[in-house]
Amino acid sequence: MSVIIACIVLIFCFLINVPIFLSVLIALLTYFFSAGDISPLIAVQRIIGAGENVTLLAIPFFILLGNLLNYTGITRRMLKFTGTLSGHYPGGLAQSNVLLSTMMGGLSASNLADCAMLSKMLVPEMTKLGYGKSFSAAVTAAGSLITPIIPPGIALIIYGFVADVSIGKMFMAAIIPGLMCCVALMVAIYLIAKKRGYKPARDKAPTFAEVYQTGKGAMSAFLLVLVIIGGIRFGIFTPTEAGAIAVLYVIVIGTFFYREMKLKDIAASFLETARSTASIMLIIMTCSALAWVLTNEQVAQDVARMMTNFSDNPYVFLMIVNAVLLILGMFIEGNAAIIVLVPLLMPTVKLLGIDPIHFGIVMILNFGHRLLNTANGNRHVCSHIDYWCPYF
């Protein structure tokens, strides 16, 4: 009964827009005081213990990396390169938008930061070239769906921590799905651009010399991705060490080579990183305690029993989970949902023989869509989508 009351309190707090970590904290207090025979000190121990996990050190480094990139000039050089590659196709600038999102996903690690940055850079330019306002904003918002699934996405790190699977393997498993999302979006853009008559950004395909010239300017970004992914893949360093090395690399490139990064920019990046990290860590720590409560009440076992009684087919389970996650994503922040739901679903996942890494990619992709729906459309705000403009 105590856990049911706590869940009702949690849902009520979500509905009245109480901050996530505070909602979970209130639900925890409700549970411990209504249970009576369990000391609230357990919650304190769980909260502090979650914050002490070394794996989570990677998060602030990759957040800092994304913030620093705004001041280096790397993004502008990558935009020139993607424009050269796709500018001759129908909807060329929109194609560049998606390509840049995919490439920046391996650097910024934040879908909202990616969306906000590209909306300022590309949406005005797309509307000037005759693209519809809603189309321009929707492409930017949808393109940022790719960011969480491209290494080193923060959600990949959090899932690896909660599910106790290799973060390096999560990074490698996410590359192909991320590229598939990129190709699917580019095909959709091509078809819509042909239908609406959006002209290419350039008249003819680029020459090898043009690709080489713009690619040379974007080489620093490619080297950075190689350092992060290659270093982790071949066991040269851990994800945390990769984040630290990448931060140092970006500071050196932006300060001494491109000479666009100032001391005040570095200070601003550190300040924003502290704010973002604090927000994420508060959610992780409180949700870890909530996950312990649900495990202690054997909710995970009840879920596993219910699911296997309904069907022992792993494909049926995955279809049900996809539908449930899509709906839950409208109301619950993705990282918080991962921390709470993974301990509940993992026993069933293992019982049905589903690879936990595959399941993690499915889960993260589902929660990536949450920011596009109207119930919780943060990306609509970031990309300035006009709800009154029809998409088709």
Mean pLDDT of 38-56: 83
With bands split at pLDDT 50, 70 and 90, how would you rate the model's confidence at 386? very low
- Which residues are CB-contacts of 235 (< 8 A; sequence separation ≥ 6)? 168
Domain boundaries, the chain: 55-278
H or E segment at 250?
Answer: helix 239-252
| 3-state SS, residue 7 | helix
377 pLDDT higher than 60: no
User: According to the model, what pLDDT value does residue 222 have?
Assistant: 78
Q: What is the tens place of the pLDDT at every residue in 107-166?
A: 655 666 667 667 777 777 788 778 877 888 888 888 877 877 888 778 888 899 888 898
Q: In percent, how much of the chain has pLDDT > 70? A: 90
172 pLDDT higher than 50: yes
Mean pLDDT of 291-308: 80
User: According to the model, what pLDDT value does residue 360 have?
Assistant: 93
- Here the tokens at position 305 are 């029993």
358 pLDDT higher than 90: yes
d(CA 46, CA 66): 30
Confirm whether pTM is higher than 0.85: no
Averaged confidence pLDDT in the chain: 81
Q: What is the tens place of the pLDDT at every residue in 229-287?
A: 778 777 788 888 888 998 998 999 888 888 888 999 999 989 988 988 888 888 888 88
User: According to the model, what pLDDT value does residue 231 have?
Assistant: 82
384 pLDDT higher than 60: no
DSSP summary character for residue 57? G
pLDDT higher for 66 or 266? 266
Nearest to 251 by CA among 239, 238, 262: 262
User: According to the model, what pLDDT value does residue 357 have?
Assistant: 95
Q: In percent, how much of the chain has pLDDT > 90? A: 8
Q: What is the tens place of the pLDDT at every residue in 51-60?
A: 888 878 888 8
User: According to the model, what pLDDT value does residue 391 have?
Assistant: 40
User: According to the model, what pLDDT value does residue 105 have?
Assistant: 67
User: According to the model, what pLDDT value does residue 92 have?
Assistant: 82
- Here the tokens at position 233 are 């893949």
d(CA 108, CA 226): 14
User: According to the model, what pLDDT value does residue 341 have?
Assistant: 85
- Contact yes or no for 75/32 (Cβ under 8 A): no
Nearest to 124 by CA among 377, 392, 372, 384: 384
206 pLDDT higher than 80: yes
d(CA 28, CA 42): 10
> Which of 178-187, 321-330, 337-346 has the highest mean predicted lDDT (pLDDT)?
178-187
d(CA 387, CA 374): 9
pLDDT higher for 35 or 242? 242
